[in-house]
Amino acid sequence: MKDTLPRLLGVIAIAALSNADVRAATPIQKHVHVATSSLPFVVAVVSDHYTNQGEFDSDVDNFFKYGLLAHDYYDDHAAELDIYSFYAPLTAGQQSDYAFDVDTPSQNCVLSWSDASGTDGTLAKLLAVVSGVNPDRIVVIGDHEYNIGCTSGKWTYVAKDAAGTDVLPHEMGHGFGGLKDEWFFEINRGVDHPGIPDSETRNCFDPRAPGTIPPWLTPPAAAKFPGAGSVAGCDFFELNAVHPFDHLVNGHNYCLMGASHDAEFCPVCHELMTEEFRLRDPENPDVTNPDAQIPAPPTGLRIVKTAFVQPTPAPGTAKPTPKGAPPPSGVILKPVPAKPILQLVVAFDPRTGKITPKKGFSITARFAPSHRRLGEWAYEIVNPTLKPEDEIVEVGVFPSNLFRASSYQGGVAHQTTTPQTTDVTIQIPDLPTDFAKTGTPPVIIRIYRLRPNVTDKLITPAVFRRLKSDGDAERVGPDLTAKDILGVM
Amino acid sequence: MDRSLLLRIAGAVVVVTMVMLAAVWYWRGGPGVAPATPTTKLVIEISGGFAYVAPTGTDNHLEIAYLNDFVLWKDANKNNTMDPDEIEFDDLNGNDRRDPGEPDMCNVNQIGTELKVIRGTIIGHDPSAQSLPASREFNLDKAVVKFPALEAANIPLTIGNLNWPPPAANPVNPDAEAEWVDMVPALLKKHTASAIDPNWRTMVNGRVVLPGGLIKAAIPSSPIFKKARFDFKANHSFKFKAAMTDRTKYTVDVPAGTVEIQLSGATNGFTKLVIQPQGNTVELSLRGMHDLGSAIPGDGAPLKDFCAFYQLMQSRPDKKDFLVPHYIAAPGGTGGAGGVPSPGFFCPGDWF
pLDDT of A301-335, one tens digit each? 332 222 222 333 344 444 444 544 555 555 667 77
Please give the average per-residue pLDDT across A271-297, as a whole number. Answer: 64
Q: Is B267 within 8 Å of B142 (Cβ atoms)?
A: yes
Q: Is B320 within 8 Å of B106 (Cβ atoms)?
A: no
pLDDT band at A433 (very low <50, low <70, confident <90, very high): confident
- The pLDDT assigned to A417 comes to 55
How do the pLDDT tens digits run along chain B, 352 residues long? Answer: 556 666 677 667 666 666 666 565 555 545 555 667 899 999 999 999 999 999 999 999 999 999 999 999 999 999 999 999 999 999 999 999 999 999 999 999 998 999 999 999 999 999 999 999 999 999 999 999 999 999 999 999 999 878 899 999 999 999 999 999 999 999 999 999 999 999 999 999 999 999 999 999 999 998 888 888 999 999 999 999 999 999 999 999 999 999 999 999 999 999 999 999 999 999 999 999 887 777 776 778 888 899 999 999 999 999 999 999 998 877 644 333 222 233 345 789 999 9
pLDDT band at A406 (very low <50, low <70, confident <90, very high): low
Q: How far apart are CA B182 and CA B161, in angstroms?
A: 5
Cβ separation B294–A233 shorter than 8 A: yes
pLDDT band at A236 (very low <50, low <70, confident <90, very high): confident
CB pairs under 8 A between A and B: 175
Q: Is A56 within 8 Å of A47 (Cβ atoms)?
A: yes
Residue A98: partners with Cβ closer than 8 Å, 6 or more residues away: A46, A48, A113, A122, A125, A126, A140
List CB contacts (< 8 A) between A411 and chain B.
290, 292, 296, 342, 344-345
Phi then psi for residue A45, to 5 deg, are: -110, 125
Q: Is B223 on the interface with A (CB under 8 A)?
A: yes
Report the SS3 class of residue B293: coil
Q: Does residue A128 lie in a domain region?
A: no
Residue among A147, A183, A415 whose CB faces B221 most closely: A147
CB atoms within 10 A of CB B95: 9
Report the SS3 class of residue B37: coil
- The pLDDT assigned to A399 comes to 82
- The pLDDT assigned to B160 comes to 84
For residue A58, with 0-12 CB atoms within 10 Å meaning exposed, 13-18 middle and 19 or more buried, which class applies? Answer: buried
Q: Does residue A103 lie in a domain region?
A: no
Task: Name the average pLDDT for chain A.
Answer: 83
Nearest alpha-carbon partner for A158 in A249, A49, A283, A55: A49
Q: How far apart are CA A24 and CA A228, in angstroms?
A: 52
Q: Does residue A432 lie in a domain region?
A: yes
- The pLDDT assigned to B14 comes to 64
The CATH number of residue A437's host domain is: 2.60.40
Which range (A266-270, A436-440, B117-121) has the least confidence? A436-440
Cβ separation B219–A145 shorter than 8 A: yes
For residue A362, give its domain range: 339-404+415-486
Q: Work out how many domains chain A is built from and give that number.
A: 1
Cβ separation A105–B338 shorter than 8 A: yes
List CB contacts (< 8 A) between A410 and chain B.
290, 342, 344-345
**Among A63, A107, A260, which would you mutate to test the B interface (most chain B Cβ atoms within 10 Å of its Cβ)?**
A260
- The pLDDT assigned to A315 comes to 43
Cβ separation A259–B296 shorter than 8 A: yes
The alpha carbon of residue A114 is apart from the nearest alpha carbon of chain B, in Å, by 16
- The pLDDT assigned to A251 comes to 87
Nearest residue of chain B to residue A182 (CA atoms): B294
Q: Does residue A300 lie in a domain region?
A: no
Q: How far apart are CA B313 and CA B169, in angstroms?
A: 29
Residues 74-113, chain B, touching A (beta carbon < 8 A): 111-112
- The pLDDT assigned to A333 comes to 72
Q: Is B281 on the interface with A (CB under 8 A)?
A: no
Q: Is A413 within 8 Å of B346 (Cβ atoms)?
A: no
List CB contacts (< 8 A) between B45 and chain A.
145, 161
The proportion of chain A whose per-residue pLDDT surpasses 90, expressed as a percent, equals 55
Cβ separation A105–B333 shorter than 8 A: yes
Cβ separation A185–B133 shorter than 8 A: no
pLDDT in tens, A32-57: 999 999 899 999 999 999 999 999 99
Identity at A412, one-letter amino acid code: V
Q: Is B134 on the interface with A (CB under 8 A)?
A: yes
Please give the average per-residue pLDDT across A251-279, as a whole number. Answer: 91
Nearest alpha-carbon partner for A407 in B337, B130, B179, B71: B337
Q: Does residue A458 lie in a domain region?
A: yes
- The pLDDT assigned to B335 comes to 33
- The pLDDT assigned to A97 comes to 97
**Among B141, B175, B292, which would you mutate to test the A interface (most chain A Cβ atoms within 10 Å of its Cβ)?**
B292
Q: Does residue A219 lie in a domain region?
A: no
List CB contacts (< 8 A) between B112 and chain A.
262
Q: How far apart are CA A62 and CA A71, in angstroms?
A: 12
User: Which neighbouring-strand residues pair with A407?
Assistant: A150
Which range (A6-10, A380-384, A396-400) has the least confidence? A6-10
Q: How far apart are CA B188 and CA B36, in angstroms?
A: 43
Nearest alpha-carbon partner for B293 in B140, B50, B108, B112: B108
Task: Using the predicted structure, report yes or no on whether residue A145 has a pLDDT greater than 90.
Answer: yes
Q: Is B76 within 8 Å of B112 (Cβ atoms)?
A: no
pLDDT band at A6 (very low <50, low <70, confident <90, very high): very low
Q: How far apart are CA B7 and CA A330, in angstroms?
A: 77
pLDDT band at A404 (very low <50, low <70, confident <90, very high): low
Q: Does residue A255 lie in a domain region?
A: no
ipTM, 2 dp: 0.85
Q: How far apart are CA A323 and CA A42, in angstroms?
A: 21
3-state SS string over chain A? CCCHHHHHHHHHHHHHHHHCCCCCCCCEEEEEECCCCCCCEEEEEEEECCCCHHHHHHHHHHHHHCCHHHCCCHHHHHHHEEEEEEECCCCCCCCCCCCCECCCCECCECCECCCCCHHHCHHHHHHHHHHHHCCCEEEEEECCCCCCEEEECCEEEEEHHHCCCCHHHHHHHHHHHCCCCCCEEHHHCCCECCCCCHHHCCCCECCCCCCCCCHHHCCCHHHHCCCCCCEEEECEEEEEEEECCCCEECCEEECCCCCCCCCECCHHHHHHHHHHHHHCCCCCCCCCCCCCCCCCCCCCCCEECCEECCCCCCCCCCCCCCCCCCCCCCCCCCCCCEEEEEEEEEEEECCCCEEEEEEEEEEEEECCCCCECCCCEEEEEECCCCCHHHCEEEEEEECHHHHCCEEECCCCCCCCCCCCCEEEEEEEECCCCCHHHHCCCCCEEEEEEECCCCCCCECCHHHHHHHHHCCCEEEEEEEEEHHHHHCCC
Q: Does residue A31 lie in a domain region?
A: no
The alpha carbon of residue A163 is apart from the nearest alpha carbon of chain B, in Å, by 8
Would you say the C-alpha torsion A364, A368, A374, A377 has a positive or negative sign? positive
Of residues A308 and A484, the one with the higher pLDDT is A484
Q: How far apart are CA A195 and CA A135, in angstroms?
A: 32
Q: How far apart are CA A167 and CA A67, in angstroms?
A: 10
pLDDT band at A247 (very low <50, low <70, confident <90, very high): confident
- The pLDDT assigned to B6 comes to 64
- The pLDDT assigned to A237 comes to 86
Residue B112: partners with Cβ closer than 8 Å, 6 or more residues away: A262, B66, B139, B140, B141, B289
Residue B318: HSE in the Cβ half-sphere, 13 Å Cα cutoff? 4
